[in-house]
Amino acid sequence: MLISETPPSILSKAFDLLRAFNTHERVMTLSELSRASGLPKSTVHRLLARLIDLGAIENHGAGYRIGIELFQLGSTTPAGAMRDVAMPHMATLHRWTGHTVQLGVLRGFDVVYLEKVARNSKSSDPSGVGTRLPASCTAIGKAMLAHEHLEDLQHFLPSPLPGLTPRSVTAVDPLIAQLRLIRQGDLAREQEEARLGLSCIASPIVVRGFAVGALSVAHPADVELDPKTGTVLRDTTAQIAKEIRQRLPEHDDWFPRDV
């Protein structure tokens, strides 16, 4: 059996190596992967050879990148399917706004970023693909939390809430007050709460009454968005939700919860 032949330590190291791939540097050298993963070069070299054989990693020029097998595997998951539906709309929204557009989902009380469309792929904002951030510090997180049972949230959210900047909301009651307004129709917003100098607005992707994901538009805090941005963002998430319902009838059990 695979499990008996493959010690957990090897699996753990392989996952550490895969997680080391930087979303801003799609191709990484052996030395970069060693530094990012914390693994010795000799170990990285052995793991890369095996992962290349499996199609999980590909050689690319002088470096390595994530292989097509992993992308194909990811596309079979609910979150991967949602990403595939969302990507064309994210690209359109990015072109219209000129700002970074992000797709994320909730995992516990964190947001995990699934995809990002940005003008500068080396942007230093903290929300690279695969990154986890406290939901309370992000517009995506607030957009999704607002669709949860707020009375339950009030009891189960950690107190104090985690903070990333001096502007992060760290008390539960003020966050719940924001979520009530969002639930009543306000856009979800975060103003320099995940990173100073960066703000976001977000709208949820609602399928069968549940927020299964959300899109955000991130912009410099000192830049005013076009007044139509909120409407365009809401229209975009509504269209994504509609296409999820239309395109995935054979996977209806994937939504709303198992995203």
pLDDT confidence bin for 1, thresholds 50/70/90: very low
**Structural domain total, the chain:** 2
Q: Are 67 and 106 in the same domain?
A: no
Residue 60 β-bridge partners: 63
Query: Has residue 123 got a pLDDT over 60?
Result: no
Q: Are 163 and 196 in the same domain?
A: yes
Q: Are 46 and 95 in the same domain?
A: no
Domain with 179 in it: what CATH number? 3.30.450.40
Rounded Cα distance, 200 and 138, in Å: 8
Q: Are 129 and 230 in the same domain?
A: yes
The model's pLDDT over 247-258, given as tens digits with 9 standing for 90+, comes to 765 555 555 444
pTM here is 0.73
Q: Please report whether residue 119 resides in a domain.
A: yes
What's the rounded mean pLDDT across residues 14-43? 82
79 or 86: which carries more pLDDT confidence? 86
Q: Are 68 and 87 in the same domain?
A: no
Q: Are 58 and 141 in the same domain?
A: no
Q: Which domain holds residue 25?
A: 2-72
Q: Are 130 and 193 in the same domain?
A: yes
Q: Please report whether residue 259 resides in a domain.
A: no
Give me the DSSP letters along the chain: -HHHHS-HHHHHHHHHHHHT--SS-SSB-HHHHHHHHT--HHHHHHHHHHHHHHTSEEEETTEEEE-HHHHHHHHTSHHHHHHHHHHHHHHHHHHHH-SEEEEEEEETTEEEEEEEE-S-TT---S--TT-EEEGGGSHHHHHHHTTS-HHHHHHHS-SSPP-SSTTS--SHHHHHHHHHHHHTTPPEEEESSSSTTEEEEEEEEEETTEEEEEEEEEEETTSPPPTTHHHHHHHHHHHHHHHHHHH-GGGGGGSSS--
Rounded Cα distance, 217 and 118, in Å: 10
Domain-terminating residue out of 72, 90, 112: 72
Quote the pLDDT of residue 251: 55
Q: Are 108 and 167 in the same domain?
A: yes
Which residues make Cβ contacts (< 8 Å) with residue 254, sequence separation at least 6? 78, 81, 248
Q: Are 120 and 222 in the same domain?
A: yes
